[in-house]
Amino acid sequence: MNRLIFIIFSILITLTACKRDKDDKLQTFRYTNPKAENTTVKENTAVNEPLRLNDRDNTTKKPVRVNRNLEENDRRGLELPAKLKDRSENMLKRRGFTVSYNNKYNCPNYVAWHLYSSRLKGNSHRTKFEEDPQVAKGHRVQWYDYDGSGYDRGHMCPAGDNKWNQDATDETFLMSNICPQVHNLNEGVWNDLEQKCRSWAWKGKDLYIVCGPIYDTKNPKTIGKSQKVRIAVPDRFFKVVLSASDYTTAIGFIYPNRNTNLPMRDYCVSVDSIETITGIDFYHVLDDDLEDLIEAECSPGKWGIQ
């Protein structure tokens, strides 16, 4: 009898020890390596299951190779931004440029043109500022509206980019192509940028340029002799330049409308950043991949800007 009780007692002790050992191992697994269970499942299923489409894409995806060479047909109207839907826009087509005119601010939204070396050749001469007969009378700026304002009549498309034709030069002096500019900017670093663009064109670059005013408030300062035709004074100016010669690339510039004299590199920005500020969609006729690539760039050194 005592022997039977001893055997039963021994069996109970053995079973209790085995259960405790199993529980200890389970606790060790769960708390010292909480991710091990999930990792094991993933590894096992990876062996038995085919690679999912998304996984395959992620493991084999290569960078998109963008063709930067533009054919002539791809360049037609390249300088013109997309139609503006959030503001007044009166499109004025000239011989050498196009104006998007804003009847609220009595200034251009932007001016766009195509610049290449032959447009810099010719004997045309500077002329006098004139009202633009294509602008409605209630929004037509007169040359004398700037008198006594403290601001220059600042060309958006410069006369020097239209030496090829006297009529084209004359049209740059229409007041629809003009914005109020601080004298130091107009005659200084803004003029330097205009000359820089011409130097690129002389070297064979095929350029597509857009420039215009930036207003940082909805109610900017105004000038003008008449209380009916008030001209909004920009806070800043932008210019975007695309070169379509062989290797298509682009760069942007923002200049404050005040006395400023920093190196040109300090005014360089991406085209994307100007689109964000202005709400204007530049170079929208390009293939999306190429547009995204060049508008994100800002590489002054590649343009010879030190």
- What does DSSP assign to residue 265? G
Give the pLDDT mean for 128-150.
96
Residue 195 has pLDDT above 90, yes or no: yes
Beta strand pairing call for 236-243 and 231-232 = unpaired
Average pLDDT, the chain: 85
> What pLDDT, on a 0 to 100 scale, did the predictor assign at position 53?
35
Of 195, 296, 198, 301, the C-alpha closest to 252 is: 296
pLDDT in tens, 67-89: 888 888 788 899 999 999 999 99
pLDDT in tens, 7-64: 555 655 555 555 455 444 433 333 333 333 333 333 333 333 333 333 334 444 455 6
> What pLDDT, on a 0 to 100 scale, did the predictor assign at position 54?
39
> What pLDDT, on a 0 to 100 scale, did the predictor assign at position 224?
96
> What pLDDT, on a 0 to 100 scale, did the predictor assign at position 10?
60
pLDDT category at 5 given cuts 50, 70, 90 is low
pLDDT in tens, 168-189: 999 999 999 999 999 999 999 9
> What pLDDT, on a 0 to 100 scale, did the predictor assign at position 233?
98
Burial 209-225 (b: 16+ CB within 10 A, else e): bbbbbbbeeeebebbbb
Give the pLDDT mean for 99-115.
98
Joined tokens for residue 100: 């998007």
Beta-bridged to residue 223, according to DSSP, are 231
- Catalytic residue positions, numbered: 155
The neighbour count for residue 175, using CB atoms within 10 Å, is 22
> What pLDDT, on a 0 to 100 scale, did the predictor assign at position 56?
38
pLDDT in tens, 196-230: 999 999 999 999 999 999 999 999 999 999 888 99
Give the pLDDT mean for 236-251.
95
> What pLDDT, on a 0 to 100 scale, did the predictor assign at position 292?
96
> What pLDDT, on a 0 to 100 scale, did the predictor assign at position 1?
52
Of 254, 154, 157, 246, the C-alpha closest to 197 is: 157
> What pLDDT, on a 0 to 100 scale, did the predictor assign at position 7?
57
Burial 89-111 (b: 16+ CB within 10 A, else e): bbebebebbbbbbbeebbbbbbb
> What pLDDT, on a 0 to 100 scale, did the predictor assign at position 70?
83
pLDDT category at 231 given cuts 50, 70, 90 is very high
pLDDT category at 135 given cuts 50, 70, 90 is very high
| Amino acid identity, position 162 | N
